[in-house]
Amino acid sequence: MYRWNERGLTPTPDAWREAFIDLHGKSRVTLTEAGPWAGRLEWQRSRSYGIALCGNVREEFVRERRHIRTDPRGMFELLVPTAGSAQVEQAAAAGEIRPGTLALCDVDRPVTFAHGEEFQSVALIFPREAIHRRNPAGARDSQVFDGTAGLGRLIRQTVLTLQQEREHLSEATFDIACDQLLDLLCLVAEGAGDSAPAAQRKEVEAQVRQYVRRHAADPDLSITDIARALGWSARYLQDVLQASGTTSRDLIRSERLRLARTRLASSTWDNRSIAQVAHASGFASHASFATAYRREYGGTPRETRGDRREFDVTRRETPGDHRGES
């Protein structure tokens, strides 16, 4: 269920700390109060994704192996600073992040994160599996990206917009937007600019074709379903298919026709009418099936079934091979 908390000041340091740990995992969170409490922590969550705005506190966040063992999250975070600066250290990577940079961190690897009261950031929180499906290498290393131009700037602006517009989003639209963000993030991680590497596109294309072949009989199959199942955005899959010379509609229709043709040529389906075969192969209309079938194969479904039956009769009536008999 998609939900969010109220905007503005978090009532107390204890409430802030509790909410922060709930979002980011068990850890040691040290807050140093230099004046009146002004901490902000605004979050929004769906079943798959989360976004959290954090700011106006002097904080040190330390997540160690002992914390991870007792509270594994299986999540990554993309940090998008909007003010001030912070020090981040994870594995061999350490450095300062400030507005204009994007930092990708694995929540289940030890990390230290420290900043002053002037720092504010928005974090996109997402499952490790979601990025691993897109880019296995990206799920292994912490990385820092340029968020001032190109895809990096687009990612930064989209994360901030999702946080600002949270009350106006449904769970479905929030998840779709986050899916697309991860597609872009993986392109940046690959250093691919505005297109994915050819090898990755070929792999994604193969996954799409395999999925469509397995689910062609589903009359409701769509590019949205395929994208959701494979963990990509529908737009990205459309681009992949277009680059291969087809579209999702053509691919689905082609696989349904192949399935129907196989069934028409099988004696197992002899007790079904051609209309029933069409419906069982994912076609909503017998007429549209017949038209598409003739266009694809140059003959009618009835001719395919008739050819197979004629072949069966001929085979039964043809005498056996009597070579060698006197």
Q: Which domains does the chain possess? A: 3-194 (2.60.120.280), 199-314 (1.10.10.60)
Residue 88, classified by CB atoms within 10 Å of its CB into exposed (0-12), middle (13-18) or buried (19+), is buried
- pTM above 0.85? no
Could you give the CA distance from residue 293 to residue 301 in angstroms, rounded to a whole number? 7
Contacts of 269 (CB under 8 A, 6+ apart): 263, 277
pLDDT at 325: 39
Query: Among residues 244, 252, 222, 250, which one has the least CA distance to residue 234?
Result: 222
How many angstroms separate the CA atoms of 208 and 213, rounded? Answer: 9
User: Token pair for residue 168?
Assistant: 């106006």
Which whole-number Å values give the CA distances from 1 to 49, 50, 228, 233, 255, in the listed order?
A: 11, 11, 17, 21, 35
Closest by CA to 81, choosing from 113, 54, 62, is: 54
Residue type, 214: R
Report pLDDT for 316.
Answer: 53
pLDDT at residue 164, as a whole number = 95
- Rounded-to-integer distance, Cα 187 and Cα 193, Å: 7
Determine the Cα–Cα distance for residues 260 and 272; give it in Å rounded to an integer.
12
Which pLDDT score is estimated for 92? 63
Locate 269 and state its tokens: 């389906």
**Max intra-chain CA distance, the chain:** 113
pLDDT tens-digit profile, the chain (326 residues): 789 998 887 889 999 999 999 999 999 999 987 788 999 999 999 999 999 999 999 999 999 999 999 999 999 999 999 999 999 998 766 778 999 989 999 999 999 999 999 999 999 999 998 888 777 666 666 778 888 888 889 999 999 999 999 999 999 899 999 999 998 888 887 654 434 455 667 888 999 999 999 999 999 999 988 988 887 778 788 888 998 899 999 999 999 999 999 999 888 998 999 999 999 999 999 999 999 999 998 889 998 887 665 545 555 555 554 444 33
